[in-house]
Amino acid sequence: MITPIQQKLLRQLSDGAVHSGTALGEVVGISRAAVWKQIQSLHAAGVAILPEARQGYRLPLPIHFLDRQRIEEALAPDIGGQLAGIQTLWDCDSTNSELMRQHHSGARPGTALLAEHQSAGRGRRGREWISPFGGSLYLSLLWRFPSGPMALSGLAIAVGIAAAEALMELGVEGVELKWPNDIHLQGGKLGGVLIDLEGETEGPTHVVIGIGINVEIPEQEGQRIGQPWSSLSQQLGAAPSRNRLAALLLNRLIPLLNRFEQQGLEPLLPQWEPLDLVKDRKVVLQLEGKTITGTARGIDRTGALQLEHSGVVRPYFSGDLSLRLHS
């Protein structure tokens, strides 16, 4: 947990400039030694603050904090009314896990949750999602579908489309989606979607839709990402406002969720096609210890990958997909 004193320190450091321990202590009302202790404990919690020899401390990058009011101001007129509320947290284990807990204690569908930092960010298939403080977007939305989970197999695809369209509206060029829901930019992974769901066979189903987007990743944190990655600041030349990005995502996502509930994935397929990174390319699918090679032939209306092998096209519902570099 990031304590109120630590929050004050982080606000002082948010400009990315070097601040001396003495100056920080004066603002926060603690001694220089106590500042050092607080910075150590932030480090232990996974918030990187760089010591500058004999000068003080600085954050790896300047930060513009998440701000609920700014997000609300940038929402489209018909979207705010469909949300049950927006929360911004300094820190949590995972915005998906936190929102699922809140669902269990009565949070209403339509609740959106964002955090500056995740200490145990989760990716697909049990992987870790590297979640540096203040540098990226970690957004989760609680939603209720009247149907059972079986009807939601294409949901992750719909969410990926919404995310890609929001990024295009932000001015990002060349966004692509890698089945099922990796967001790609300039040959690296820019973001991903994680959906946790709970429901009865007959419905309703409650889902927590989590979206992570690399906005600006400090170099050191980037080295921990175990695959080629990209960030918005790399392409746009500067980090865009995460508050605006969050609003654009919600503006796109909520109408798509309503449409998906009414009509399923089928009417969204024309939106997927131009974004499909692997369409008609040779790919490798890793699935339960097996490696399946073939040519990707798009997706069907359930969201399953159509993989052609020896002239036969078969659907695949999960797995890790990569491009085959050598045929």
Active site residues: 124, 189, 324
**Pair 254, 262: CB distance under 8 Å:** no
Per-residue string for binding with ligand BTN, 164-203, x by CB under 6 A?
------------------x---------xxx---------
- Residue 129 binds to ligand BTN (criterion: CB under 6 A): yes
Return the ∠ at Cα 229 (arms to 224 and 162), rounded to 5°: 125
Part of the chain binding ligand BTN (CB under 6 A), chosen from 32-40, 114-122, 222-230, 246-254: 114-122
Part of the chain binding ligand BTN (CB under 6 A), chosen from 83-91, 137-145, 278-286, 309-317: 137-145
CB of 68 to ligand BTN, least distance (A): 17
Candidate residues 6, 87, 140, 214; the one interacting with ligand BTN per rule CB under 6 A: 140
- Residue 301 binds to ligand BTN (criterion: CB under 6 A): no
- Residue 279 binds to ligand BTN (criterion: CB under 6 A): no
- How buried is residue 131: exposed, middle or buried, by Cβ count under 10 Å (0-12/13-18/19+)? buried
Q: Please tell me the total number of residues recorded for the chain in this structure.
A: 327
**Pair 145, 239: CB distance under 8 Å:** no
Part of the chain binding ligand BTN (CB under 6 A), chosen from 3-11, 116-124, 264-272, 315-323: 116-124
- Residue 96 binds to ligand BTN (criterion: CB under 6 A): yes
Candidate residues 111, 118, 230, 231; the one interacting with ligand BTN per rule CB under 6 A: 118
Query: Using CA of residue 271, residue 258, residue 320, residue 96, what is the dihedral sign?
Result: positive
**Pair 183, 177: CB distance under 8 Å:** yes
The Cα-based distances of 202 to 148, 150, 151, 197 in angstroms read: 5, 9, 10, 14
- Residue 127 binds to ligand BTN (criterion: CB under 6 A): yes
- Residue 259 binds to ligand BTN (criterion: CB under 6 A): no
In whole angstroms, what is the distance from residue 285 CA to residue 281 CA? 12
Strands 312-316, 305-309: parallel, antiparallel or unpaired by DSSP?
antiparallel
- Residue 58 binds to ligand BTN (criterion: CB under 6 A): no
Q: For ligand BTN, which is the closer residue by CB, 31 or 286?
A: 286
Kindly give the interhelix angle for 155-169 and 242-263, rounded to the nearest 10 degrees. Answer: 140
Q: For ligand BTN, which is the closer residue by CB, 5 or 225?
A: 225
Please tell me what DSSP assigns to residue 128.
B
- Residue 123 binds to ligand BTN (criterion: CB under 6 A): yes
